[in-house]
């Protein structure tokens, strides 16, 4: 299934998306960002995830350009994701936001465009805009982020096209079993943001014990757990050594017992905002 860094999952519309990618949340514009994106591509990553609110799309675009040159590959071999921010949710606003993201990234199209947060009363119109962009073949796939089951059900009352992706906070302390099962049943691919819980799990004794038994790092074990649960993952790093190490998860497999032990750490604990209770 996932034998190497460029292995893909097939979304319900037939588009192939890499299981593994680079996230750039909280990485500011500048040399560090550009080099991180370029080195990820040079070292075999084929998926890059950003968002309008990160304020770094222009730098990501420059990093992509540099990375494509260094790796000697074409734009078509890359999978690029961005997200529409809450302030731009609305039919015309979302259409404009998509164009603005493309302009900043310096790209002709995105592979995936997501609604960043389920703002009540606004996400249905934004989704209609995403459907328009998709039907016009300006984006290869569309999806949502931070949507709970009830948000998805609400969306589906008016949606003509089912989301291909739901990107949510997902890590061993927040396993989202109900949501994961629901998305699997409905052909919506789950994707993890903050898979390493912003570094808070790297000293966990159980995870360290499991990692030692496989001769791997805690980060590698968590990222492997994501993949074996059928969850696309996009760990963030700006250091080339860490970018390479994070992706070194395709040469081992966690046992069913260890998978269960890791899942057993769940406490429904979030490091990010609660999708049912946010005010931005």
As annotated, the active-site residues are 54
Dist. CA 78–CA 34, nearest whole Å: 16
Cα–Cα distances in angstroms (integers) from residue 159 to residues 143, 149, 153, 181, 211, in the given order: 12, 15, 10, 21, 43
H-state helical runs in 167-217: 177-185, 205-214
Positive or negative CA dihedral for 203, 205, 211, 215?
Answer: positive
Dist. CA 210–CA 271, nearest whole Å: 23
CB-CB neighbours of 277 under 10 Å:
6
What single DSSP character describes residue 234? -
Dist. CA 219–CA 242, nearest whole Å: 10
CB-CB neighbours of 47 under 10 Å:
26
Nearest alpha-carbon partner for 156 in 127, 117, 122: 127
Strand 110-115 and strand 16-18: pairing?
A: unpaired
Dist. CA 37–CA 27, nearest whole Å: 11
């Amino acid at each position: 299934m996932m034998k190497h860094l460029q292995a893909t999952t097939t979304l319900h519309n037939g588009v192939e998306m890499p299981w593994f990618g680079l996230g750039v949340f909280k990485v500011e514009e500048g040399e560090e960002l550009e080099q991180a994106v370029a080195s990820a591509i040079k070292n075999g990553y084929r998926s890059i995830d950003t968002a309008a609110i990160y304020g770094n799309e222009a730098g990501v675009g420059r990093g992509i350009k540099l990375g494509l040159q260094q790796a000697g590959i074409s734009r078509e071999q890359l999978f690029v994701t961005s997200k529409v921010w809450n302030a731009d949710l609305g039919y015309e606003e979302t259409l404009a936001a998509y164009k603005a993201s493309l302009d900043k990234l310096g790209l002709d199209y995105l592979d995936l465009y997501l609604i960043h947060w389920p703002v009540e009363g606004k996400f249905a119109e934004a989704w209609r805009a995403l459907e328009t962009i998709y039907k016009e073949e300006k984006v290869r796939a569309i999806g949502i982020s931070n949507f709970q089951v009830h948000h998805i059900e609400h969306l589906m009352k008016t949606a003509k096209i089912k989301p291909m992706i739901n990107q949510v906070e997902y890590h061993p302390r927040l396993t989202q079993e109900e949501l994961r099962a629901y998305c699997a049943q409905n052909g919506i691919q789950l994707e993890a943001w903050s898979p390493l819980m912003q570094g808070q799990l790297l000293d966990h004794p159980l995870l360290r014990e499991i990692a030692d038994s496989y001769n791997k790092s805690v980060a590698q074990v968590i990222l492997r757990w994501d993949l074996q649960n059928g969850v696309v993952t996009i760990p963030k790093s700006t250091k080339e050594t860490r970018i390479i190490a994070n992706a070194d998860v395709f040469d081992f497999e966690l046992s069913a017992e260890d998978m269960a032990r890791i899942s057993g750490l769940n406490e429904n604990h979030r490091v990010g905002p609660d999708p049912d209770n946010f005010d931005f």
